Structure formats: C-alpha cells, structure tokens
Amino acid sequence: MKTHTHDYPRAILHFDGDSFFASVEQALNYTLKGKVVITGGERGAVTAVSVEGKRLGLARGLSLRDIRRVCPQAVVVSSDYVSYGIFARRMYTLVRRHAPVVEEYSIDECFADITGLARPGRSYEDIAQLIHRELEQALGVTFGVGLAPSKVLAKVASKHRKPGGFTAISTSEADAYLANVQIGQVWGIGPAMSQTLNALGIQTALDFARQSPEWLRANHISKPYRAIWHELRGTSVNAVAESGATVPASIIKSRTFSPPTADRAFVYSQLVLNVEGACARARRAGVLARRVSFFLKTQEFLYGRVELDLSIPSANPADILNAMRPRFDVLFKQGVVYRATGVSLGGLVPAGAAPLDLFGEAEAAQEQLPVLNGVDALNRRFGAGTVYAGSSMAARLHKAPERRRRAAIRPSHLQMDVTRRRKRLNIPFLGVAR
Amino acid sequence: MQLLGTIQAGFASPAEEDAADIISLEEFLLGDKEASYMLRVQGDSMKEAGILDGDLVVFERTAACRPGDIVVALIEDGYTLKYLRQESGRFYLEAANPQYPILYPKDGQILGIVTGSMRSYK
C-alpha cells in the first residue's frame, strides 16, 4: 500500500461499530448469530437492528410493531447498556494502543488522529487496518473504518463499505466519493440545512465542496457549515478532541439485588444508591449531567425505563432524585417483583461550562457544592459509603445479610455470583463450555 | 493480592516474604484484558488438564493459537474447550479425557485460547 504523506496532511480515522448494540448481543449470545436481532423495544422504540435485519430492509426508525409484522422471526432483546458500555470502553482502549489522540464520539463510534505515525513499510492504511483487525478480533463485532484527512471525510469513508469495510479517501480521491453522497448524508448537515442547500442547487456533497468562498459569503453560509465545506475539501478544521479522561459519554450505575423484591421502599433505596454512585463518579470526572434515565428490571427481565431532562445540569443526588421521584412513583407497580435498578447520567458537560438558567436554580445548586465536596472528601478518607443519603440506607444495610445468605445456599445462587464478579471485572460472561 | 511463594502440598513451608511480589488476580488470569471473556465449564472433557465441571475459565479472543494451547471453539452445539493439536498439517481438537472423540474444527470456529481458570471452594 502507498504512503504519500501529502495525501494526508492529517490522518484521521473513524471507527463505527456495525449495528453496534445488536452486534454486541450476538457476540454475547452465539445463538443470536446469523439472526435478525432487534434491541430496544422497552418503549416500543428500536435502538438497533442487526446486519441480517438491515439486509431485509429493516431500520432503526421503524416501530417494533412494524418490524414484527414484516419479519416475524426477528428476535427482540431489551437494551443492555452495561454490556454496550463495556464493549465501547474496550473499543476506545484498543484504538488508544495505536493512536495518541482518540475522541470517544459516542457509544459506538470514535475518531483517532494518527498524523505523523506512518513509516516506510507502515502506511496510514496499514495502521488503520491493523487497528480494524484487532477490534474485530477482540470484540467479535464488525466495524466500518474510514481514513481521511478530515473528520467529515473520515465519516464518509467509514460509511462507504459497511458492514466490516475499510475505505481510505485521500485528498486527491475525495471528489469521486463525494459525487455519490447526498448533501443531507454529510455529518453535521441536518434536514433544514439540507433543504436550504437543495434550494441553492446543491444536491451532492461534491456540489457543495466545489463552491467558492465568494459563493459561501454571498449565500450567508454560517461558520459551522463553512467548516464542513473545508473538511469536505480535505482541510481539517475540527480537530480530533481527546476525550478519554475529560468528558465520558455517559455514566451508568446499576445493581442487581437478591432476592428480588416487591418492597417499594427497598427498590427505591437501591435506586438512590445508584444515583449516589453515579453522581460521585460524575463529580470525580468534573462533569454535570443534563439528562437522566433510570430503569427498573422485573423478575421476568422486563424493563421499565424513564428518561428525563434536568432543568439545570447537576451532579447532585438531591437534584436528580427530586426530578426522578414523581416518575418513579408512576413506574413502580404495586405487586410486581423487581430484581435490579439502574441509572444513567447523560448529556454530560464539564462542570465549569454549565450555562446559567433564568430562574436562579443554578445559584441554589451552587450553594450545595461545598457540602458535596465535603461528602466526597469524607468518603475518600474513611472509605466509600461513610456519608450517604438517608434514603439509600435500606439498600446499604442490606448488603451484609445478603452475602451471608448466599454463602449458605450457594448452588442456587451460582448464576448470581457470576453476574456480580463479571460486573466487577468487566469481563463479559458468555455461558457454558463443554 | 500478595504472592507468598509456592507451596508444597503435604508440608507447610514458610512463606518467603522477600521473594514476594504483588500481582492482581486480573493480571494472573488474563491475557489481553480487552479481549477476555468468561465461560462456565460443564462436564469432564478437560479433567486431565485440571479443568473440572463448574470451573470458570477466562479466554482471550485471538487468532494466535498454537498446537498445545487449550482453545475455545464454537461448534454446532455451543462452546467447547479442547487442546489444539496438529498432525501432518491438519488441525484437530482433543479432549483431556480419553472418553471423548476427536473433533475437526472448520474455519473460523476457533475463537481464542484459555488463559486462566477459577474454582471457588467457599
């Protein structure tokens, strides 16, 4: 393979997991391999369709009901964000072994900048394909991979040959690819902008890339779109932003408890425990959440999930619990036996960057900060769980007897044991081997 | 976890603190951490390799399998653990128990190698 560094003033890679959630489910459960697998369905919404389903024309936008009608043999599994998170972290870590700068763009995508790493006998293409092979080998999930001089072009490249394909687009080759990409499919161009550009006679990405700076000015093309124009022409404007330690994509805490229970106060205290844990982690990472979702899992493995926006970004359990409490009361069903709760903090922003709200709520939240910093300091000094919200006490006190009981009647709880260990080690458990 | 030297079954030997080293269970059991998965053993096909019914094994997904390794293969009826052997260029899977037949894996069926096993006596 060729290495002409002038083809890549910057060498940017984009990795995109094919049907990621569905592929992870297939990697974790071999009986799902080769089948149409749909993830989600908790609220009728489909979060992923396996490669096999996409071949039949199924897509994420369809409702579960439509999918069942078109494809009765489809296997529907509920979303397992803990496992998807483990696979995502593995993806980032594996890419980081070869690339100095990695941007964790989302749970199934990342960018890497490998500019300057090509050597005689080891081209950018070689490095991209080496990482590609290692990812697919280690995770058992296929990836679309793109190499290009900018992020926008790298996205075009990774999408070009899916699933499992690798495409390199150098500056001189870009036009041939862009002629076949509709302007609305370009990363960063939404439906409204797409319509605006269509009205100006722009159909493909190439049409846009070929316009002059004067045309952009005359048509009042704003800064983010001028950036896309540069990137389509092979000039990197949006740098790959190292994200590893700074802003995680989301923070997830979930716990299975045994035995399962219908006790409302106990289930709530388990949820509080997860919120406290997730918030402590958010404060350690220096981030605030704008979105919270939480779930209750029943003994029959059915999920009830609620997502809500916080009026102000927060990493304070009290704020988050205030917002969650009314929704919990609706979600929790009397007489239903629950086995797990979990919470996910999303829309994370660096703590300093949170915009102030109009109603003075942010100010009130700020006043809580010294208290929380004190809580964190005490927990660091005297061990996790020294200071906590009163409402999580039932869950915390429950720990000790749970362990004793399991020791006494171990065989029936073996599965439980495995689950707990797996979560602590982050090593997925695949089942039995003979 | 602190490693206190080897022990001889039969006689208690004084642990040599000087030779001790700190290792984590993870380092001890895992090859590549990012490529590791767990399986629960069912049956006695690997009993002469010291892998028993109920054990937990850790394996690494890798293409670098050599004859003599204990490998994980995915065959028609699920995962199987076996020794990878080679005879006159042809690979086959052999149990560590003479009661089990030899298997000839197809392309792509060998997923990786076993790097560790765990057994709890609690």
Domains and CATH numbers, chain B: 31-118 (2.10.109.10)
B61 at A interface, C-beta within 8 A: yes
Paired tokens of A21: 């959630």
Pairing of strands A37-40, A75-77: parallel
Contact between B39 and A430 using a beta-carbon 8 Å cutoff:
yes
Measured between CA atoms, the residue of chain B closest to residue A135 is B35
Contact between B122 and A433 using a beta-carbon 8 Å cutoff:
no
Q: Output the CA torsion sign for A41, A47, A51, A53.
A: positive
Helices A361-382 and A317-331: angle between axes, nearest 10 degrees: 100
Q: Chain centroid to CA A72: how far?
A: 29
Measured between CA atoms, the residue of chain B closest to residue A432 is B40
More confidently predicted of A119 and A404: A119
Measured between CA atoms, the residue of chain B closest to residue A414 is B54
DSSP string, B48-107: GGT--TT-EEEEEE-S---TTSEEEEEETTEEEEEEEEEETTEEEEE-SSTTSPPB-PPT
Query: What pLDDT is attached to residue A414?
Result: 32
- Which run of H or of E encompasses A179? none
Query: What pLDDT is attached to residue B122?
Result: 76
Q: Lowest mean pLDDT: which of A10-14, A127-131, B10-14, B58-62? A: B10-14
Q: Output the CA torsion sign for A77, A321, A288, A425.
A: negative
Query: What pLDDT is attached to residue A166?
Result: 97
Query: What pLDDT is attached to residue A103?
Result: 93
Average pLDDT over residues A351-380: 55
Average pLDDT over residues B12-29: 58
pTM of the model: 0.67
What phi and psi, each to the nearest 5 degrees, are found at residue A78?
A: -75, 150
Measure the CA–CA gap between A396 and A388, rounded to whole angstroms: 9
Distance from CA of B66 to the nearest CA of A (A): 16
* Active-site residue set of B: 45, 82
Contact between B79 and A430 using a beta-carbon 8 Å cutoff:
yes
Q: What does each C-alpha distance from A116 to A12, A101, A120 come to in angstroms?
A: 11, 12, 12
| Averaged confidence pLDDT in chain B | 84
Query: What pLDDT is attached to residue A383?
Result: 58
B46 at A interface, C-beta within 8 A: no
Measure the CA–CA gap between A138 and A214, rounded to whole angstroms: 49
Task: Judge contact between B49 and B70, C-beta under 8 A.
Answer: yes
More confidently predicted of A31 and A259: A31
Q: How many Cβ pairs closer than 8 A exist between chain A and B?
A: 72
Paired tokens of A6: 């002038």
Contact between B45 and A434 using a beta-carbon 8 Å cutoff:
yes
Q: Read off the DSSP letter of residue A329.
A: H
Whether the predicted pLDDT of B27 surpasses 90: no
- Percent of chain A exceeding pLDDT 90 equals 56
Distance from CA of B36 to the nearest CA of A (A): 6
Distance from CA of B33 to the nearest CA of A (A): 8
Chain B positions in Cβ-Cβ contact with residue A429 (cut-off 8 Å): 37-40
With residues binned 3-state (H G I as helix, E B as strand, rest as coil), the percentages for chain B, rounded to 5, are 10, 40, 50
Query: What pLDDT is attached to residue A426?
Result: 76
Distance from CA of B91 to the nearest CA of A (A): 19
Query: What pLDDT is attached to residue B77?
Result: 84
Average pLDDT over residues B8-29: 57
ipTM of the complex: 0.83
Whether the predicted pLDDT of B11 surpasses 90: no
Q: Lowest mean pLDDT: which of A85-94, A243-252, A295-304, A396-405? A: A396-405
Strand pairing partners for B93? Answer: B84, B103
Helix/strand/coil (H/E/C) assignment for every residue in A182-246 = EHHHCCCCCHHHHHHHHHCCCCEHHHHHCCCHHHHHHCCCCHHHHHHHHHHCCCCCCCCCCCCCC
Query: What pLDDT is attached to residue A65?
Result: 87
Q: Which of these, A82, A168, A189, lies nearest to A125 by C-alpha position?
A: A168
Q: What is the pLDDT of residues B97-108, one digit of tens each?
A: 999 999 998 877
Q: What is the pLDDT of residues A245-279, one digit of tens each?
A: 556 678 888 888 888 899 999 999 999 999 999 99
Query: What pLDDT is attached to residue B21?
Result: 60
Measure the CA–CA gap between A375 and B31, rounded to whole angstroms: 38
Average pLDDT over residues A315-330: 90
Query: What pLDDT is attached to residue A141?
Result: 96
Chain B positions in Cβ-Cβ contact with residue A430 (cut-off 8 Å): 37-39, 79
Contact between A431 and B45 using a beta-carbon 8 Å cutoff:
no
CA angle A399, A405, A407 (to 5 degrees): 105
Q: Chain centroid to CA A88: how far?
A: 7
Domains of chain A: 1-171 (3.30.70.270), 251-425 (3.30.1490.100)
Measure the CA–CA gap between A228 and A208, rounded to whole angstroms: 9
Per-residue burial over A334-363, b = 16 or more CB atoms within 10 Å of its CB, e = otherwise: eebebbbbbbbbbebeebeebeeeeeeebe
| Averaged confidence pLDDT in chain A | 84
Measured between CA atoms, the residue of chain B closest to residue A407 is B122
More confidently predicted of A30 and A312: A30
pLDDT class of A400 with cuts at 50, 70, 90? very low
Query: What pLDDT is attached to residue A265?
Result: 92
Contact between B61 and A138 using a beta-carbon 8 Å cutoff:
yes
Chain B positions in Cβ-Cβ contact with residue A23 (cut-off 8 Å): none
Smallest Cβ–Cβ distance between B38 and the set A94, A410, A427 belongs to A427
Whether the predicted pLDDT of A204 surpasses 70: yes
Number of CB atoms found within 10 A of residue A426's CB: 16
Contact between B80 and A94 using a beta-carbon 8 Å cutoff:
no
Measured between CA atoms, the residue of chain B closest to residue A419 is B38
Q: Lowest mean pLDDT: which of A62-71, A115-124, A169-178, A367-376? A: A367-376
Task: Judge contact between A263 and A398, C-beta under 8 A.
Answer: no
Average pLDDT over residues B49-68: 94
**3-state class (DSSP) for residue A99:** coil
Smallest Cβ–Cβ distance between A433 and the set B42, B61, B63 belongs to B42
pLDDT class of A62 with cuts at 50, 70, 90? confident
Measure the CA–CA gap between A21 and A80, rounded to whole angstroms: 8
